Chain A
Amino acid sequence: MPVLAVAVAAGYILLAFGAPTLLLALAALAVPAACALAPDLTIRRRWLLAGIGLWLAVGLTGAWWLRAGVTAGMLWMLATLFLLPLPIMPWLYARTFGTRR
């Protein structure tokens, strides 16, 4: 946990100064890493976090790839990173919610 946190924190500062575009890759790592701080990290949830990381990696890479596409870039960004996960994320949370503790 602390090693990953230090890597993300140091990575943010270094990339912001040296290679800001790679912050897109850091975002795909940092969001699932933050989710992994959940107290109930079951096997299902670990798979789910891997899926979130993969989805972000695909979405952010596509946004960068289509950055010059005036309408294609905007539509990709809105569809992949906003509209698609909008109903899915709350549903996945409810499906993996545990009542123990």
Chain B
Amino acid sequence: MTLLAGLLVAALALAIWGARRASTAGEYFAAGHRAGPWLAGLAGTAAAVSGFTFVGGPGLFAVAGVGSLWIILSAPVTGALQCWVLGERLVTDDRDRPLTIPELLGRRLESQPLAVVTSLVVLVGCVASLAVQVRAAAVLGAGFLGLQGWVAATLVMAATTTYTAAGGMRAGLLADATQGAAMAAFGVLLATAAIHLAGGPVAAVRTLAAARPGLLGSFGSFPPGRAASLYLLFALGTLAQPHYIQKFLFLRRRADLRRLPAVLTGALAAMLAVWLGVGLGGAALVAQGRITIGQPDELAPHVMTALGPWAVLLAATAVLAAMMSTAASFLNLAAAALVRDLPRAVGHEPRGVGAARFATVGVGVAATLVGVTSERAVAMLGVAGWGFFTAALLPAMTLGLAWPGARPRAVAAAMATGAVTDLVLEMSRASFPAALEPGLAGAALGTLVLVLGSAFSGDRKRPAVTSCP
């Protein structure tokens, strides 16, 4: 409770600080384009790493073993991949840059229907992804803090919504970067401690090799095809996550991109150490009979309890930081879609910062209601949220921006096709092969629609592809 009380006080102070500075749309939605590589890298990684990593990841290791690591295996590549494909296309030295993703695609492809579809995809995906963070906070409250899940989730969302609504991304960037630094440091510390508790890495591996060999090998309990599919989903999917792309819009100048992958990769690897360390150490502790878990999501809290009160405090802080940084980005993106992108797409003037503050609060309340009533496991919700954005936005953010032959209506159709395919396949997942990830299948169908639609479209209006939007 002391931790949550401190959190609320800090959120209030940050809200007051941010409210004075975020008076324009540029400050509120894009932090005034004033971030350097360290700030953007730490904030971007903090927004990327959610409660899914700290709660769902080690739990998934207990079930699928090494197979679960294929989700994070692309981490060394993704920082450079994002900068190559997106960063170098989006970041210029020009101050008049887009503030949101629908605005970016709208300027690039000059299409009203595309702007409407993009705004709706961002809005729906953000509310669903926020619900994941709420669910993670509920598990955190029950597992780490001894609170009722809905109480913890409501308090955490209230704190996040307070500073995000008041200060937008001007406050959010500072909070995210601070949270990212804490998550990286605590992630390495907790992973090391969990492995040490299990007798060291060699003993932990030997324990699992003897008791549960099916968790080890190259693919754990996953078939190779499913592991490859997860690798692709989380490698290519980084190009389609709005909360990742948003951080490129915060950068000061193009030269900042040079060092950004180093910050992104280093911070991500440090945070993901939790997945491997607590997953491997925790699974070994379960095999040794030193801890008992009822369901996978209980692994991380039980390992922390076994480590002692200091670990519970650090883990709770890290999970709160992970959840809040991700939630802040989604709140801001959803508010931007509601008050800026959708009105503009239907021919109205974008609303101001005041309306954005009200929209942020509304989105926060809606997501909290969805999240506390959800009964799906945190891990599966996390995959579904990531997959939705991959399915809907990957063809648009890659081919749509890079291919001069892409046509606006075909890009909009690809986005709608991807989103609908992902939702349909998620609902009937058991009927399809394990290797078919709904997010990738949606992106694949969307790509086919984009290319074929552009090739056979009568829509020949297309701006020249000469520079960044």
Could you tell me which A residues sit within 8 Å of B by CB distance?
1-2, 5-6, 8-10, 12-13, 15-17, 19-24, 26-27, 30-31, 34-35, 37-40, 52, 60, 63-64, 66-71, 73-74, 76-78, 81-82, 85-86, 88-94, 97, 99, 101
A67, chain B: closest CB distance, angstroms: 4
Query: Known contacts being A35-B81, A71-B205, is A12 close to B232, with CB within 8 Å?
Result: yes
A residues near B266, Cβ cutoff 8 Å: 90
Say which one of B18-26, B184-192, B253-261 lies at the interface with A: B253-261
A13 to chain B, nearest CB (A): 5
Most chain A beta carbons < 10 A, residue from B66, B259, B399, B435: B435
Indicate if the CB atoms of B73 and A81 lie closer than 8 Å: yes
- Tell whether A93 pairs with B83 under 8 Å between CB atoms, given A5-B451, A20-B225, A70-B217: yes
Contact indicator per residue, chain B 237-252, by CB within 8 Å of chain A (1) or not (0): 0010000000000000
Q: Does residue B445 face the partner (Cβ distance < 8 Å to A)?
A: yes
List residues of chain B with CB within 8 A of the CB of A101. 88, 92, 254, 467-468
Total interface residues in chain B, CB < 8 Å? 71
Report the separation of the CA atoms of residues A101 and B440 in the bound assembly, to the nearest whole angstrom.
32
B436 close to A17 (CB less than 8 A): yes
Whether B158 sits at the interface, judged by CB under 8 Å, is: no
**Is B85 on the interface with A (CB-CB < 8 A)?**
yes
Q: Which residues of A contact B354 (CB under 8 A)?
A: none
Chain B residue nearest in CB terms to A6: B451
Contacts from B to A (Cβ < 8 Å)? 66, 69, 73-77, 79-81, 83-85, 88-89, 92, 205, 209, 213, 216-219, 223-229, 231-232, 235-236, 239, 254-255, 257-259, 261-262, 264-266, 269, 276, 395, 398-399, 402-403, 405, 433-437, 440-441, 443-445, 447-448, 451-452, 454-455, 467-468
Q: Is the CB of B447 within 8 A of A9?
A: yes
Q: How far is the CB of A23 from chain B (nearest CB, A)?
A: 4
A26 to B218, alpha carbons, bound, how many Å?
18
4 more CB-based (< 8 A) A-B contacts, given A63-B218, A67-B224, A73-B218: A2-B454, A23-B225, A31-B74, A85-B77
**Contact A16 B229, beta carbon cutoff 8 Å:** yes
- Of the A-B pairs whose beta carbons lie under 8 Å apart in the complex, a sample of 25, sorted by A's number, is A5-B403, A5-B447, A15-B225, A19-B225, A20-B224, A23-B229, A23-B232, A26-B228, A27-B232, A30-B232, A31-B232, A37-B84, A66-B218, A67-B217, A67-B224, A73-B66, A76-B218, A86-B75, A89-B79, A89-B80, A90-B261, A90-B265, A94-B261, A101-B88, A101-B468
Contact B445 A9 (CB under 8 A): yes
Complex Cα–Cα for A67 and B65 (A): 13
Please determine whether A31 and B433 come into contact, CB atoms closer than 8 angstroms.
no
Q: Which residues of B contact A64 (CB under 8 A)?
A: 218, 224
Once bound together, how far apart are the Cα atoms of A67 and B83, in whole Å?
A: 33
Q: Are B448 and A10 closer than 8 Å at their CB atoms? A: yes
**Min distance, Cβ B197 to any Cβ of chain A, angstroms:** 20
Q: How far is the CB of B447 from chain A (nearest CB, A)?
A: 4
The interface residues of chain B lying within 8 Å CB-to-CB of A73 are 66, 216-219
Which residue of A has the minimal Cβ distance to B210? A70
Q: Cα distance A24–B232 when bound, in Å?
A: 9
Across the interface, name the chain B residue whose C-beta is closest to A68: B217
CB neighbours (8 Å) of B223 from chain A are: 20-21
- The residue of chain A having its C-beta at the shortest distance from the C-beta of B449 within the complex is A9
